[in-house]
Amino acid sequence: MRALLRSLFTSDPSDSVDNLNRNYSAISKTDFEFAHAEHQEIWEFIKEFFTAHGHVPSLSTITAHFKRQKKSSVSDQAEMIRTQPLILRGDFVARLNRKIEDKKKQKVNAVLKTANDIAVNGVTPEGEERFMIGPQDAVRYVIDQAHEILTPAGSVKLSGEVHGDVDDYLKEYHDRKQDEMLGLGQFTGIEQMDVILRGAKKKELWTHAAFTGHLKSTFSLNWSYTQSVFYGQDVCYFSLEMPYDQCRRNYYALHTLHDKFTEIRMDLGLQEMANHPTCVSYGKIRDSELNSAEEEFFLNYVLEDLRNPDNNYGKVHFEVSDPDSSEFTVADLKARAEMIYSRQPFSMIIIDHALLISSRNKKLSVRTDQANEVMRDLKRLAMGFYRGAGIPVIALFQMNRQGYKKALERNGIYDLTALSYSNEVERSSDIITATWCEGVMKQEGRVLFQNLKTRDLEPFRPFLARIEWPCKRLLTCYDDYEGFMDDERRERIIRDAEEATIEDLNLLS
Amino acid sequence: MAKNDKGTCEACGGYKYIRVEPRSKIPGLIIPGGAFVPCPDCTYTERVYRNIEKGWKNLFKSPKLETGPSPLMDCVEKNLWVTATVRDFRMHLKHVAIRKGPSWDFKVASDKTLMTADFANMSVRGIEILDPDFEELERMASTSLQVMTLSDLIEPPELLIIQLGVKGRNRHLPEVLLETLSQREHLSKKTWLWDQPHRLFSEDHHGFSEEIAAFMETWEHDRIKIGTSGVRVLSQNGVFEMDTDGDDDIEAVFTLSNLSGMGSAKEVKAPEKKPKKPRKKKERN
């Protein structure tokens, strides 16, 4: 309890306000109460402060407030709590869930005890207006109380009556208005996409489709890397296609392009200009063929940085299918994910790829029916994960050959008919995106992103992102020069283009 | 392109990209690795060339427009009916395409290409096609990756330029043209109709029909003629302007409105309505 409270205010200049704000967001979604009265007072003050200022208070603010109110015992408690360890992100949520679980156990004991009293002697339970007696009243009482116990830790309602729930909605509305991060999902790191879609949100199924070799896995690996390293969020990644060691190598290669290593790369002679980042080739990492400078950089800086806990990077759990089992269903996936989540909550599930999941109904012989069932189950997974708490699920999907051929004629633009086997994909998915990378685009290190479906937003227009091929890192790229070129430069470039001949262009190529 | 000591582009050092400030300012949004643009100094020409060739093959080889700015530049966001020779139009279009940059989404399709796409679609549905170009069309319809359906051709580009007068006589041509224009209008995408001075889009044109005439009465569009003596903007958003130079090598200008006598435009009335014949499945010429 103390560690939870300690993780809701800043005490040291090195405390990350963003992470503490996230802690606040996590706990404020629950109706958690601290057992100790003084702790509860501190928590009430933190809530008031956050509502007014949009961030958690510092220890000095808390102590000053309670000293002004002449509640020295409370300010003393705050001072004592500062010595507790700071817990952040997934660790905080896991600890919070455990505490909520403990409270629920106590509640179950109390409910069963009261039910026993009702059945045997008859009582007027707390919060009830009438006297209850007999086995029927006892069972009815248990059923009434069960809803509160079954509600997931995040205080997500499983059911409700909308007219009576206006106050609950108002709280949600004001919380969202106050905390600008609250309505946002898990960002991909590609600007054009994030600006429109605002990331993958809880209970959403996001299907990303592409033809073979068109960077499905690369996109999902980049996404998990962005979430972990730049947002400090944990990710659960089910790789049913690539073995764990391949995923791991790919992931490490992505980190070699990080801007934090610019000076080191330049010192080691791996990079020439500060604004032109370079990376280490995945192929060289795979085959252990790094030269001495690359090796020093990769082993001593990149890997060490990834394992340094001070960086507060999120954890990325890669899970591959059970080698002893020929089938892996959505139910298996859910069981495994929930087991990991109970120990270390994560913020999204990635599945690479959905067509490799087996259907649970063995009677389905048609591939399309199987795929349809898997997609329906994945949507249910997103909605019902961890007893209704929900989670964003990112499912990769294969485009069919006919769709690929059609897209070839349309400069890489797909339509929904290109999704292999499954017509359920377009129904169950909240968002469908696709990538295309072929021919000149591939040579130039460009990837076409497109949006085939969004449930409640205008889709983004197709755009080209950049890929740094050696490490397969995806980067935001603009194709217009708005705001980047003055008139003089623009005129010069247009003049050059007008005067260029085909022979000049061959030289350029 | 200015070069540095190493012989690579001075602006990007051969990296081909330049790092720029990310544009969006959404709270909490991080753009890992920052944002980039392809280096304009060393990639613009090549990228714009590829885009131009994608829009209309060999357009890049067209000579430079020496007579200054093109009026087409102001029409890229509008529907347009333009009359020009192939040579003039290519020069003007190249001028526009170079300035619009490598991402300008335009496509030039001749009326013959539209027909081919439509035939391909019919052939896929098993409808027998009788056309002078039958063999070629059949081959394209069954094996081509060039055109699958008419909608694949006409729907994607932001600007579709239809070159009239390429296809020989075919009874279905007006229907296909009307379908194209209507579909583009439905998608709120802009279309240019391009005819030539010696083959104006009038009642004796292969692609003309009274239905198209009726459609164009309500189709908001500009009207431009490009001739050897210069460029004349005859109407903007359906409003005709006086022709001030009064001297043009293009003699007849067809309009579908009742604005006869304005400028040098002269009205050609839409032909009398003929009773409609039921459409047959088979195409005969």
CATH of the domain at A337: 3.40.50.300
Contacts of A496 in chain B (CB under 8 A): 1, 44-45
Range of weakest confidence among A77-81, A234-238, A434-438:
A77-81
Range of weakest confidence among A11-20, A76-85, A241-250, B242-251:
B242-251
Residues A358 and A332 in one domain: yes
Q: Is pLDDT above 60 for A398? A: yes
In the listed set A87, A106, A124, which residue is the last one of a domain according to the structure?
A87
List the single residue in B15, B30, B101 with the smallest CB-CB distance to A231: B30
- Which of the residues A192, A196, A494, A507 would you substitute to probe the B interface, choosing the one with the greatest number of B C-beta atoms within 10 Å? A494
Which has the higher per-residue pLDDT, B255 or A354? Answer: A354
Interface of B with A in 144-203 (CB under 8 A): 145-148, 152, 156
What's the pTM value of the predicted model, to 2 decimals? 0.72
Task: Give domain status of residue A504, yes or no.
Answer: no
- Which of the residues B30, B65, B153 would you substitute to probe the A interface, choosing the one with the greatest number of A C-beta atoms within 10 Å? B30
Task: Give domain status of residue A251, yes or no.
Answer: yes
Residue range A319-336: mean pLDDT, rounded: 82
Residues A245 and A339 in one domain: yes
> Do A79 and A58 form a contact (C-beta atoms < 8 A)?
no
Task: Give domain status of residue A13, yes or no.
Answer: yes
Distance from CA of A447 to the nearest CA of B (A): 13
Contacts of B16 in chain A (CB under 8 A): 444
pLDDT of the residue at B265: 34
Q: Do A184 and B28 touch (CB under 8 A)?
A: yes
Residues A375 and A232 in one domain: yes
Q: Do A440 and B50 touch (CB under 8 A)?
A: yes
User: Residue for token digits 């003049």?
Assistant: A495
Residues A299 and A170 in one domain: no
pLDDT of the residue at A167: 78
Mean pLDDT of chain A: 86
pLDDT of the residue at A51: 78
User: Residue for token digits 């449930």?
Assistant: A455
**Which domain range does residue B175 map to?**
56-267
List the single residue in A259, A413, A502 with the smallest CB-CB distance to B33: A259
Contacts of B27 in chain A (CB under 8 A): 180-181
Q: Is pLDDT above 80 for B257? A: no
Q: A466 - beta bridge partners?
A: A446, A475
- Which of the residues B21, B42, B152, B160 would you substitute to probe the A interface, choosing the one with the greatest number of A C-beta atoms within 10 Å? B152
Q: Is pLDDT above 60 for A224? A: yes
Residues A100 and A57 in one domain: no
Residues A80 and A101 in one domain: no
Q: How many residues make up chain B in this entry?
A: 285
**Residue of chain B whose Cα is closest to the Cα of A18:** B28
Which residue, A57, A49, A71, A41, is CA-closest to A8?
Answer: A57
Q: How confident is the model at residue A268 (pLDDT cuts 50, 70, 90)?
A: very high
Residue range B116-121: mean pLDDT, rounded: 72
CA dist., res. A231 & res. A216, Å (int): 21
Mean pLDDT of chain B: 75
Tell me how far CA of residue B185 lies from CA of A194, B154, B247, in angstroms.
Answer: 30, 11, 34
Residue range A101-109: mean pLDDT, rounded: 87
Distance from CA of B45 to the nearest CA of A (A): 5
Range of weakest confidence among A271-285, B56-70, B238-252:
B238-252
Residues A95 and A82 in one domain: no
Q: Do B24 and A194 touch (CB under 8 A)?
A: yes
Q: What is the ipTM score, two decimals?
A: 0.71
Q: Do B45 and A195 touch (CB under 8 A)?
A: no
Contacts of A227 in chain B (CB under 8 A): none
Q: Do A497 and B48 touch (CB under 8 A)?
A: yes
> Do A211 and A398 form a contact (C-beta atoms < 8 A)?
yes
Q: Is the dihedral of CA B192, B197, B199, B205 positive or negative?
A: positive
List the single residue in B15, B33, B46 with the smallest CB-CB distance to A257: B33
Could you give the number of structural domains in chain A?
A: 3
Alpha helices in chain B (DSSP H): 40-55, 86-100, 111-124, 134-143, 150-154, 173-186, 210-218
**Residue of chain B whose Cα is closest to the Cα of A21:** B28
List the single residue in A184, A444, A473 with the smallest CB-CB distance to B33: A473
Q: Is pLDDT above 80 for B233? A: no
Helix crossing, B40-55 with B86-100: angle to 10°? Answer: 140
Task: Give domain status of residue B143, yes or no.
Answer: yes
Residue type, B285: N
Residues A221 and A243 in one domain: yes
Helix crossing, A37-53 with A166-178: angle to 10°? Answer: 70
CA dist., res. A439 & res. A446, Å (int): 10
B44 and chain A in contact, CB less than 8 A: yes
> Do A321 and A242 form a contact (C-beta atoms < 8 A)?
no
Task: Give domain status of residue B22, yes or no.
Answer: no
Task: Give domain status of residue A329, yes or no.
Answer: yes
Q: How confident is the model at residue A396 (pLDDT cuts 50, 70, 90)?
A: very high
pLDDT of the residue at A81: 87
A4's tokens: 């939870």
Could you tell me which residues come within 8 angstroms of residue B186 by beta carbon, excluding any fewer than 6 positions away?
none
pLDDT of the residue at B252: 35
Residues A81 and A102 in one domain: no
Task: Give domain status of residue B116, yes or no.
Answer: yes
Residues A306 and A440 in one domain: yes
Q: Is pLDDT above 90 for A339? A: no
Residues A464 and A319 in one domain: yes
Q: How confident is the model at residue B103 (pLDDT cuts 50, 70, 90)?
A: confident
Distance from CA of B125 to the nearest CA of A (A): 17
Tell me how far CA of residue B130 lies from CA of B110, B121, B170, in angstroms.
Answer: 20, 14, 10
Q: A474 - beta bridge partners?
A: A467
**Concatenated DSSP letters for B158-207?**
SEEEEEPS-S---TTHHHHHHHHHHHHHHTT-EEEEEEBTTB-SSTTSTT
Task: Give domain status of residue B215, yes or no.
Answer: yes
In the listed set A87, A115, A146, which residue is the last one of a domain according to the structure?
A87
List the single residue in B41, B50, B152 with the smallest CB-CB distance to A410: B152
pLDDT of the residue at B127: 60
Task: Give domain status of residue A495, yes or no.
Answer: no
Task: Give domain status of residue B34, yes or no.
Answer: no
Q: How confident is the model at residue A185 (pLDDT cuts 50, 70, 90)?
A: confident
Q: Do B37 and A484 touch (CB under 8 A)?
A: yes
**Which domain range does residue A147 map to?**
90-178
Q: Is pLDDT above 70 for B73? A: yes
B98 and chain A in contact, CB less than 8 A: yes
Helix crossing, A487-499 with B40-55: angle to 10°? Answer: 50
The percentage of chain A sitting over the pLDDT mark of 70, rounded to a whole number, equals 94
Task: Give domain status of residue A496, yes or no.
Answer: no
Residues A436 and A308 in one domain: yes
Q: Do B20 and A409 touch (CB under 8 A)?
A: no
For the stretch A148-167, pLDDT in tens is 776 665 555 656 677 777 87
User: For chains A and B, what is the number of CB pairs under 8 angstroms?
Assistant: 138
Could you give the number of structural domains in chain B?
A: 1
